[in-house]
Structure formats: structure tokens, C-alpha cells
DNA sequence: CCTCGCGTGTCACCAAGTGTCAAGGAGGTC
DNA sequence: GACCTCCTTGACACTTGGTGACACGCGAGG
């Protein structure tokens, strides 16, 4: 049940196809723009049919946005792994930093994708939708840390505020030439926001 | 205020048709769900053709989201009209309050629309896209007030944080039975966030 | 009476997705 | 090697969102 070699093989084959589709898609989309490329084109460029594309990605937006899919999970995991005594501002800062550092790690690739997303309304919308999901998850994690109700105002506000910082940092980073250090931007943002994040909820 | 009567007449006719389409759409969508209603249906219910629908609304999402379209402009106008000496937290609070009060003014209608939006991924995405636009506008206004660069970190953070508050308040309000006072929620949220909004940018 | 402008309906068309079915390859059994 | 089974894929048809082109009807003004 754990990891039979056959399952692992099938899984790797699947991953291979997905990677090829992603590669073809990112290349074409970055070059010609989101609306000017059809799914048929992407599939043909990857050497398969449109139907296969949709077996791997739920939508044309998905192939771009899923490139960032792991970030949300990583952020929540990082937040969950922070020591319990740490103030929320520091814990959230580390969580966002985990994300930002992952992005900065493959800077040129990430920059291309982020610019594509921020410059394409349809993609931006999907990205924000993902972020809304992350916000709920971060809020739940935060509520657990603080012993509060997950539906309360404060954890949601704090999670949303932290994600706003992430958003602004991405925007700032991608609008420049990429030379600005996103980690430093993140720390500056959290220095401003810390008092609100650590406030005692009434 | 009114310009020439002829232009006003055409404008009012247009508005009439748009209202009829909106009415038909909101009725059907709230009743059957977003995906279960086709544009053909909406148009037929309003007594016109699909083509006409798309002459009034850019997309199926638009007919729902445009119902809230004025909010962003109202928020920015309110922010612009606040006295220059007021601290950012108070000015932003009043701006968001203007929005929230407008929503609370037609509570049952707004609640229906907001629940529809928050419960439909496609609509939620479009809504967030609008909000991103508002954020840029609020940041620009704020930068002008504070004499900062509109692309700087601080105005964007403050605008995003204020909108997070708006978002959380809407979410909280719509998830309850509507009896909770959104204005009070807004004030509580801003009480937490104020120190971050009024912080001096470095 | 004509015609000009405007809004609308009709039709054709493209692209995003989805359901369905048949073909083919990888692996296991006799 | 023959057979069977599972899984992936391609081909095709279909629905729906959305757009472009054109024709029709109608009121205003010559």
C-alpha cells in the first residue's frame, strides 16, 4: 500500500508527461501570450492530443497556476512546524519566507511565470483563488496555535495580512528587473505588519 | 448633473435593459446555481437573445460581479475625501466603512449576491480580480496622501491590509445569518490593524 | 419617400471543456 | 507464445461561453 514499485513507476510516467506539457505550455504562453495560444497548440507542441492535456490539467489556467501549487502547502507546513511559543508575526514571516525563498531559488523560471500571471487577468484570478484557499488554511493553523476558533476574526485577519505581504512582495519583485532581494522585501513588510499580527484579539 | 435629454434617454433605456438582465440572472443563478444556468436561459428569461446579453455584459460572471462594481470607486472616493491630517488607519477605515455601509443598506439583496460569489469559484475569482484593481487604486490614493511613491511597499501593504479587512468582514457577515453588524465587525478589524496601517515606512 | 443611425436578432464560427468508445501497450498467468 | 487485464491515449461528438458579420426594424430628419 505504501509505495509499490509499480505504482511508483506509473506515477513517474505520469509526472513525465505532466512535465512535458508544462514545459510546452510555459514556453508557448510566455512567448505568444495567454489568449493567443490554444490548448490544441500546447498539446500538439508536446506531441499529444487535446484530450490528454485535460486529463492532466483541469483547465488552461491550471497548467500555469499549478506550477505554484506546492507553495500553499509548503507555507502551511512551515507555519505548523514553527515552535509554539513564537509570536504569530515571526511564525507567519517564516512561513511566507519559506515560500519566497522557494521562488527565489529558481528565480528566472519563477519570474517568467509570475509576470505571466500578474499580466493576464484570467490567470491572476485563478492565482487569487488559490490564495484565498491558502488564507483559510493558514487561518485554521493559526487558530489552532492560538487556541482560538478558526472562524474568528483575528486568525483570518492575520492570515490575510500575511498573504497580502506575500502578494505585494511578488508584485514588487516581478515589476523590477528581478535584482531586488525578495527575502529582504518580505522582512521589511513584516516589520511593518508585526504589531497588527501580534495584537491580542478582543 | 443631467446632460442633454436625448443622451439621457438612450442612457436610461440602456440601464433599463441592463437591469432586466441583471434581475433575470440573479434570480436564476441564486435559484439553480451558477453552472446550472446557461446564458441562453438568462437571456430568454429576460426576453432577449444571447447576443444582446453579451452586448451588456462582458461575461456570465460579469452580470453578478458588476452588481458590486461601484464599490471600488466609492471606496476610493471616500478615501480621497477624508481630511489630509487624518491618520491612514482612520481614513482607510472610513473608506471601507463606506463600502460596508452601502452593502448593509440593501442587506438581503447583497447577502444573496455575496453568498453566491463566495460559493462559486469562478465568481470568487472575478471578485478577487476586482479587488486587486481596487488595491492598486487605493494604494495610489494613499501614496498621494502621504507623499510617497505609488510603487512603494508601504501604500500597497496598507491598501491590501484594509481590503483584507473588508474581505474578512464580508466572509464573516455572509457566513452567519446576517444578523451580525458588519459595521461593528469592520471597526473591530481596524482596531487590530491600525498600528500597522499608521506605521512609518522605512 | 427616403435614408441614416442605432439597437437587436440570426447565423456562423472559434475555443474551452467533457463523455464515450475503441485501439494499443505493459505486465501477469497459464 | 497465447491470453487476459488494467491503464493510457486518441478520435469523435457534443455543450457552452464568447465574438464577428450581416440583415432587419424603427424613429428622426432631409
At B32-89, the pLDDT tens digits run 999 999 999 999 999 999 999 999 999 999 999 988 888 888 999 999 999 999 999 9
Contact A161, B162 (CB under 8 A): no
A129-152: average pLDDT? 93
DSSP for residue B34: S
pLDDT for position A6: 42
**Total residue count of chain B as it appears in this document:** 202
Least confident span in A171-175, A186-190, B9-13, B163-167: B9-13
pLDDT for position A7: 53
A162-183: average pLDDT? 93
What residue ranges of chain A are covered by domains with CATH 1.10.357.10?
Answer: 65-196
Confidence band (pLDDT; 50, 70, 90) for A202?
low
- With contacts defined as CB-CB under 8 Å, which chain A residues touch B180? none
Spacing of B12 CA from D30 C1' in Å: 28
- Cβ separation of B165 and A157 shorter than 8 Å? yes
pLDDT tens-digit readout, B121-178: 999 999 999 999 999 999 999 999 999 998 899 999 999 999 999 999 999 999 988 8
* pLDDT over 80 (residue B201): no
| C-alpha distances in Å from residue B39, one per residue of B35, B126, B181 | 10, 17, 35
CA end-to-end span of chain A: 48
Assign a CATH topology to domain A65-196: Tetracycline Repressor; domain 2 (1.10.357)
Confidence band (pLDDT; 50, 70, 90) for A178?
confident
For residue A161, give the chain B residue with the closest CA: B161
| C-alpha distances in Å from residue B101, one per residue of B61, B107, B147, B166 | 24, 9, 29, 11
* pLDDT over 80 (residue A2): no
Is the CATH code 2.60.40.1840 the one for domain B65-195? no
pLDDT tens-digit readout, A32-64: 999 999 999 999 999 999 999 999 999 999 999
pLDDT for position B202: 61
What residue ranges of chain B are covered by domains with CATH 1.10.357.10?
Answer: 65-195
Q: Of B137, B167, B158, B150, which Cα lies nearest the Cα of B72? A: B137
CATH of domain A5-58: 1.10.10.60
Q: How far apart are CA B189 and CA A33, in angstroms?
A: 40
Residues 6+ apart with CB under 8 A from A52: A17, A43
pLDDT for position B11: 77
pLDDT for position A5: 44
Cβ neighbour number for residue B91 with a 10 Å cutoff: 24
Assign a CATH topology to domain B5-60: Arc Repressor Mutant, subunit A (1.10.10)
Spacing of A117 CA from C15 C1' in Å: 20
pLDDT for position B68: 82
- With contacts defined as CB-CB under 8 Å, which chain A residues touch B131? 128
What residue ranges of chain A are covered by domains with CATH 1.10.10.60?
Answer: 5-58
- With contacts defined as CB-CB under 8 Å, which chain B residues touch A153? 168, 172, 185, 188-189, 192
Q: At what angle do helices B107-118 and B88-105 cross, to 10 degrees?
A: 100
Residues 6+ apart with CB under 8 A from B137: B72, B76
Question: Which of B128, B191, B192 is opposite residue A129, by nearest beta carbon?
Answer: B128
Spacing of A16 CA from D5 C1' in Å: 24
Q: For residue B23, say whether its CB is under 7 Å from any atom of strand D.
A: no
What residue ranges of chain B are covered by domains with CATH 1.10.10.60?
Answer: 5-60
3-class state of residue A69 by DSSP: helix
Amino acid at each position: 500500500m505504501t509505495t509499490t514499485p509499480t505504482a511508483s513507476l506509473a506515477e513517474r510516467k505520469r509526472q513525465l508527461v505532466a512535465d512535458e506539457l508544462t514545459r510546452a505550455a510555459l514556453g508557448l504562453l510566455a512567448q505568444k501570450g495567454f489568449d493567443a495560444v490554444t490548448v490544441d497548440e500546447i498539446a500538439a507542441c508536446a506531441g499529444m492530443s487535446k484530450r490528454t492535456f485535460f486529463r492532466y490539467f483541469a483547465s488552461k489556467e491550471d497548467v500555469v497556476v499549478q506550477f505554484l501549487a506546492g507553495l500553499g502547502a509548503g507555507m502551511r507546513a512551515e507555519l505548523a512546524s514553527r515552535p509554539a511559543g513564537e509570536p504569530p508575526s515571526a511564525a507567519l514571516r517564516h512561513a511566507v519566507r519559506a515560500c519566497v525563498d522557494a521562488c527565489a531559488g529558481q528565480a528566472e523560471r519563477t519570474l517568467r511565470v509570475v509576470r505571466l500571471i500578474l499580466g493576464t487577468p484570467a490567470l491572476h484570478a485563478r492565482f487569487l483563488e488559490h490564495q484565498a484557499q491558502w488564507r483559510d488554511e493558514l487561518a485554521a493553523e493559526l487558530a489552532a496555535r492560538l487556541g482560538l476558533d478558526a472562524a474568528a476574526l483575528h486568525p483570518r485577519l492575520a492570515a490575510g495580512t500575511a498573504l497580502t505581504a506575500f502578494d505585494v512582495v511578488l508584485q514588487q519583485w516581478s515589476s523590477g528587473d528581478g535584482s531586488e532581494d525578495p527575502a529582504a522585501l518580505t522582512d521589511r513588510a513584516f516589520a511593518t505588519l508585526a504589531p497588527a499580527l501580534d495584537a491580542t484579539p478582543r
